[in-house]
């Protein structure tokens, strides 16, 4: 059984399992799936400041914090018990392209050549980790949710704003990966 869990699951198993979270949350408690709102709940619980954005009854959303904690714990358990000790396999074409940018050490799915503490002090590291993180956070707030909330929950509820947001996420991802990131990696 453990060997089965260590293998990548095919899309036709993993996709429906992820998709079934939507009706489960709706049936069990009329809740919406999404992760980005949990940061707001944490800030509302921990910040004593008088900021109107954080003045709401965050205790009604405690289930979301428990859900995110479960994701974190599940990831930690999977990393310690189910991780594959072999180096990750990367498509040879991608490996050649990445080597052209000086990325040869993939670590545990994180390119160690550009994602490390010393790299944070370089222009490339700052752009990728700090500025990129800011843009992700800003975009999430501006779009009214994250990719999981819009693409999984919103699309399954046939919400027009979620369709627009998901299409924009995809277009932005293609532009970033194919047009902008190659220039940043050559810095």
Q: Cβ neighbours of residue 104 under 8 Å, at least 6 residues apart?
A: 98, 113
Residue 106 CA to residue 1 CA, distance in Å, equals 28
The yes-or-no verdict on residue 156 having pLDDT over 90 is: no
The yes-or-no verdict on residue 133 having pLDDT over 70 is: yes
Q: What pLDDT score was predicted for residue 107?
A: 67
Q: What pLDDT score was predicted for residue 105?
A: 83
CA 7, chain centre distance (Å): 21
Contact call for residues 146 and 35 (beta carbons, < 8 A): yes
pLDDT-based confidence at residue 178 (cuts at 50, 70, 90): very high
Contact call for residues 119 and 101 (beta carbons, < 8 A): no
Computed over every residue of the chain, the mean pLDDT equals: 85
Contact call for residues 84 and 5 (beta carbons, < 8 A): no
Q: What pLDDT score was predicted for residue 81?
A: 83
Instruction: Report which of 157, 159, 155, 137 is spatially closest to residue 146, judged by C-alpha positions.
Output: 137
Q: What pLDDT score was predicted for residue 164?
A: 94
CA torsion through residues 124, 130, 131, 132, sign: positive
Domain definitions of the chain by residue range: 1-83, 114-187
- Confidence (pTM): 0.73
């Amino acid at each position: 059984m453990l060997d089965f869990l260590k293998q990548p699951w095919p899309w036709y198993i993993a996709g429906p399992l992820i998709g079934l979270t939507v009706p489960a949350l709706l049936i069990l408690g009329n809740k919406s799936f999404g992760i980005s709102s949990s940061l707001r709940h944490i800030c509302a619980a921990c910040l004593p400041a008088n900021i109107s954005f954080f003045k709401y009854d965050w205790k009604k959303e405690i289930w979301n914090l428990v859900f995110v904690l479960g994701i974190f714990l599940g990831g930690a358990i999977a990393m310690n018990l189910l991780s594959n000790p072999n180096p990750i396999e990367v498509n040879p074409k991608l490996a050649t392209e990445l080597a052209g940018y000086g990325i040869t050490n993939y670590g545990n799915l994180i390119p160690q050549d550009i994602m490390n503490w010393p790299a944070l002090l370089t222009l490339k590291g700052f752009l990728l980790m700090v500025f990129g993180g800011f843009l992700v956070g800003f975009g999430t707030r501006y779009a009214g949710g994250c990719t999981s909330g819009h693409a999984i929950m919103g699309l399954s509820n046939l919400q027009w704003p979620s369709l627009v947001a998901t299409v924009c996420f995809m277009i932005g991802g293609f532009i970033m990966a194919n047009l902008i990131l190659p220039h940043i990696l050559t810095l």
